[in-house]
Amino acid sequence: MIEQRQALPFDDEPRSLGGHAPRVIPLDDHRTGSRPPADAQKRAQNLRLAEAERRFLTRCLSYLIVDVGIRQYVDFGSRVPHTTGVHALVTEQCPDARVVQVGIGTAVPLHPRASALQPAMLWLEQVRPDDVAAHLSLRGRIDLGEPVAVLIDVDLLPGGDVRDLVPALHRVLAPGSHLVLRQRPANPADPYARALAAALFDPFCLVEPGVADLAWWPYPDEEVVAEGTGILAGLARRC
């Protein structure tokens, strides 16, 4: 098995000539530790998701590097920091691997001192599925004659693009290539959410156990008791 000080409102009442009326401020709302601030809760949740994604990527990439032997990786977005992102996780186990990070939108220049620590960057103003492979090949980053692992965070792509991008990738990638998708369903409670996520992999062939919560994959649901993330993920092969 193979093994993220609110300023207090001003008093709008008109001032009387007799002076200010006393104003009562509830101390419980300002007492240290009385309740976690909303932004602190959000940061904690984001850290938990980033850690779950890092662990998921580690399990996926270890399988792809060690068991499958893939040496080329294309990452369409990752919420984990660059210091522990796909590039670092891959090159830690396979220093000679090629890693390309694909950004969508306006290119962001990298600091010169950080460039050596970053993956090769490919910036696309928008995702044109039939052009993506040509960009990767023409830039000399990826050899499409050899297996490639493509990782896509569906939530970071413009709406609907993944449904056209996946078939386009299937047409140009060599047999033995793999696809990793992560997606947060619009309604995690929808009984069809997993089937809809699985359909995004078509025409790639899903690897067991298919689509599962990002925190649990690749273990079947009945073997997991840990809290899930609500993000569905899976791994598929180009047959």
195 vs 221, more confident = 195
Domain-located, residue 225: yes
Domain-located, residue 14: no
Nearest to 234 by CA among 30, 213, 46, 53: 213
Domain-located, residue 56: yes
List pLDDT tens digits, range 213-228: 998 898 866 666 668 8
Domain-located, residue 205: yes
Is residue 8's pLDDT more than 60?
A: no
Is residue 66's pLDDT more than 90?
A: yes
Domain-located, residue 65: yes
- Kindly give, in sequence order, each residue whose CB lies less than 8 Å from that of residue 29, ignoring residues fewer than 6 positions away: 35
Counted domains in the chain = 1
List pLDDT tens digits, range 118-139: 667 777 777 788 788 778 776 6
Domain-located, residue 124: yes
**Banded model confidence at residue 189, pLDDT cuts 50, 70, 90:** confident
Domain-located, residue 36: no
Average pLDDT for 26-38: 55
Here the CATH number for the domain that contains residue 85 is 3.40.50.150
Is residue 150's pLDDT more than 80?
A: yes
Reported pTM: 0.77
Q: Which domain holds residue 123?
A: 49-237
Domain-located, residue 164: yes
- 120, 99 Cβ separation under 8 angstroms: yes
